[in-house]
Amino acid sequence: MKQFSVAIDGPAGAGKSTVARKVADFFGFTYVDTGAMYRAIAWKALQDGVDINNEQAITALAESLHFELDPKGIRVNNLQLTDEIRTPQVSTLASTVATMVGVRQVLVKKQQEIAQIQSVVMDGRDIGTHVLPQANLKIFLTASIEERAMRRYKELLHKGLTADLKTLQEEIRHRDENDQNRVHAPLRQAEDAVLVDTTNRSLEQVVESIIQLCRHQMGVME
Ligand code: CDP
Ligand code: CDP
């Protein structure tokens, strides 16, 4: 079979990364977490004291970073990044750097290069619309805002951290609005994407239905 690509987009907490990772593992494809790249830039800017609103400086920072895919998270300039890029502060700042056209150009190029040489399941906000417009399968994953906030809440509890559900919901709502209303590559369902609402569905059910959709598309390719 030729290389196969699956694009998974959707709002925060819809289950994109969890589902994408499982589908990639099932088929032996590479999972590409594009959100981690935007998060890593925001985190590095914080570390180095770069002004997050200075588009030129943030774009130069994005150009200077070397990203490597890693099963545990992402490696940036040889540094493994995991929980430090998942804080609410980094989430919000990632959404700010993601509005910058220069940053998007740098990352989209890197993401397209990865998909040229291997089969991928790639998740993000603009994968079906901009990064992989020719993807073999496009999924738009969503769930109600209450459900998405509750999932994040449970994740934090699981890590032994406390959180306020209302604050989490507000953070997600604000980030979704930012992502949907920005000028460059806003979060949109691609016309040819399959809408999957995960609100009342288990992770296993969602993964199974996407595996079936992949199999169907693979059959079409043969
Ligand atoms: O990547 P995204 O922000 O879209 O979501 P995630 O980081 O994968 O988080 C989703 C959380 O909801 C994880 O803890 C999943 O186990 C859980 N979950 C899910 O992804 N899908 C369901 N149908 C039910 C729960
Ligand atoms: O896991 P979660 O859905 O909360 O966020 P993420 O996928 O890690 O993405 C963090 C932020 O990066 C998003 O809120 C977007 O602003 C931005 N992003 C983007 O603009 N385009 C992508 N392809 C991926 C993420």
For residue 97, which atom of ligand 2 is closest to its CA? 16
Single residue among 96, 118, 140 that ends a domain in this structure:
118
CB 91 within 8 A of CB 81: no
- Residue 206 domain-assigned (yes or no): yes
Domain assignment of residue 127, given as a range: 1-29+120-215
The answer on whether 10 is annotated among ligand-binding residues is yes
Is 138 a pocket residue for ligand 1 (Cβ < 6 Å)? Answer: no
- Residue 183, token pair as written in the block: 């000028």
Distance 9 CA to ligand 2 centre (A): 9
Q: Is the pLDDT of residue 1 over 60?
A: no
- Residue 177 domain-assigned (yes or no): yes
Tens digit of each residue's pLDDT (9 = 90 or more) over 18-44: 999 999 999 999 999 999 999 999 999
- Residue 73 domain-assigned (yes or no): yes
Please report which confidence band the pLDDT of residue 219 belongs to, taking 50, 70 and 90 as the band edges.
Answer: confident
Same domain, 99 and 156: no
- Residue 16 domain-assigned (yes or no): yes
Single residue among 94, 118, 142 that ends a domain in this structure:
118
User: Tokens 């030729």 — which residue?
Assistant: 2
Same domain, 99 and 84: yes
Is 151 a pocket residue for ligand 1 (Cβ < 6 Å)? Answer: yes
Report the distance separating Cα 208 and Cα 53, nearest Å: 42
The 3-class secondary structure across the chain, one letter per residue, is CCCCEEEEECCCCCCHHHHHHHHHHHHCCEEEEHHHHHHHHHHHHHHHCCCCCCHHHHHHHHHHCCEEEECCEEEECCEEECHHHCCHHHHHHHHHHCCCHHHHHHHHHHHHHHHHHCCEEEEECCHHHHHCCCCCEEEEEECCHHHHHHHHHHHHHHCCCCCCHHHHHHHHHHHHHHHHHCCCCCCCCCCCCEEEECCCCCHHHHHHHHHHHHHHHHHHHC
Candidate of 8, 18, 154, 201 to mutate for ligand 1, largest count of ligand atoms within 8 Å of Cβ = 18
Residues 6+ apart with CB under 8 A from 34: 107, 111, 122, 123, 124, 125, 127, 131
- Residue 103, token pair as written in the block: 């940053």
Single residue among 103, 118, 133 that ends a domain in this structure:
118
Tens digit of each residue's pLDDT (9 = 90 or more) over 141-153: 999 999 999 999 9
Residues 6+ apart with CB under 8 A from 162: 156
Same domain, 81 and 94: yes
CB 43 within 8 A of CB 85: yes
Is 16 a pocket residue for ligand 1 (Cβ < 6 Å)? Answer: yes
Mean per-residue pLDDT over the chain, rounded: 95
The answer on whether 149 is annotated among ligand-binding residues is no
Q: How many domains does the chain have?
A: 2
Same domain, 124 and 104: no
For residues 72 and 204, the model is more confident at 204
Domain with residue 96: its CATH number is: 3.40.50.300
Q: Is the pLDDT of residue 5 over 60?
A: yes
Report the distance separating Cα 12 and Cα 90, nearest Å: 13
> What angle in degrees, to the nearest 10, is found between the helix axes of 34-48 and 55-64?
110
Is 15 a pocket residue for ligand 1 (Cβ < 6 Å)? Answer: yes
Whether the ipTM is more than 0.85: the answer is yes
Residues 6+ apart with CB under 8 A from 72: 80, 82
Q: Which long-range contacts (CB under 8 A, 24 or more apart) does 44-47 make?
A: 44/76, 45/93, 45/97, 46/89, 46/90, 46/93
